[in-house]
Structure 1
């Protein structure tokens, strides 16, 4: 099978175009309807399997790969765009992407399974945080990119969860910021 994949991809990563050292990557949650392997470079592979190592700028290549004629490549591009949904350029690409219903179901299968396997977002005391909860900041925090400090005891209402269980989003002094969960407690 790998020889067929190499021929199909012309010895280039099917996501970013790098080559020639490639790995066959099997898309999880694929069902039986499609060939579910793609050829990827080491950089793409590492970032796909270890989301914590993701470099958003590397994935700007999805602008090209999302238009592939290979269903598995389209699905993987759509999945990566979903992971990068906080990036404005990724949201723009997602808005342009059209997938047949069958392929969209394949994309969504990963999200459905991820919800089942997701790690809970916990505050500093181990209490489970959910979107819409109210929290209190337990330590003075310098807010990057601004000139203010989020003071200890500040209430943050109606928080939002992020893809990272160690981060939440909320408004402090009228500015929407990302806060580490280890510095908040549920109120």
Structure 2
């Protein structure tokens, strides 16, 4: 018999080792963000806009083909946080970008 601790997983209804349970929780907390064509996005990626977008509150339009550098994932599967000249706190929907 080992000295490893066991934890009851309510989702599966089984007892599992604490290390396996922690790995399962970590995998479940990871959100997979995909761009308009299905590529997986990660922090620091560069993306290109596939559609002209009117930016609310900035009175500016981001044109199709605009390069956005160094994106950050927000934890939502459809939103990415990024910076662009003159626009602070820009959040884009993943369906309007393509990984470069």
Q: TM-score, normalised by structure 1?
A: 0.39
Which 4+ runs in 1 deviate beyond 2 A? none
SS at match of 1:116: helix
Please say if 1:121 is aligned against 2:28. Answer: no
* Cα distance in structure 1, aligned partners of 2:77 and 2:43: 12
1:166–1:180 CA contact under 8 A, matched in 2: yes
| Aligned residue number for residue 59 of structure 2 | 147
Unpaired stretches in structure 2, ≥5 consecutive residues: 1-6, 9-20
RMSD between aligned residues? 2.1
| Aligned residue number for residue 45 of structure 1 | none
* Cα distance in structure 1, aligned partners of 2:98 and 2:52: 13
| Aligned residue number for residue 99 of structure 2 | 186
| Aligned residue number for residue 165 of structure 1 | 77
* Cα distance in structure 1, aligned partners of 2:52 and 2:84: 12
* Cα distance in structure 1, aligned partners of 2:31 and 2:76: 9
Unpaired stretches in structure 1, ≥5 consecutive residues: 1-30, 33-108
Deviation at 1:142, TM superposition (A): 1.0
**Equivalences, count:** 79
* Cα distance in structure 2, aligned partners of 1:142 and 1:128: 25
Q: TM-score, normalised by structure 2?
A: 0.70
| Aligned residue number for residue 3 of structure 2 | none
* Cα distance in structure 2, aligned partners of 1:172 and 1:120: 24
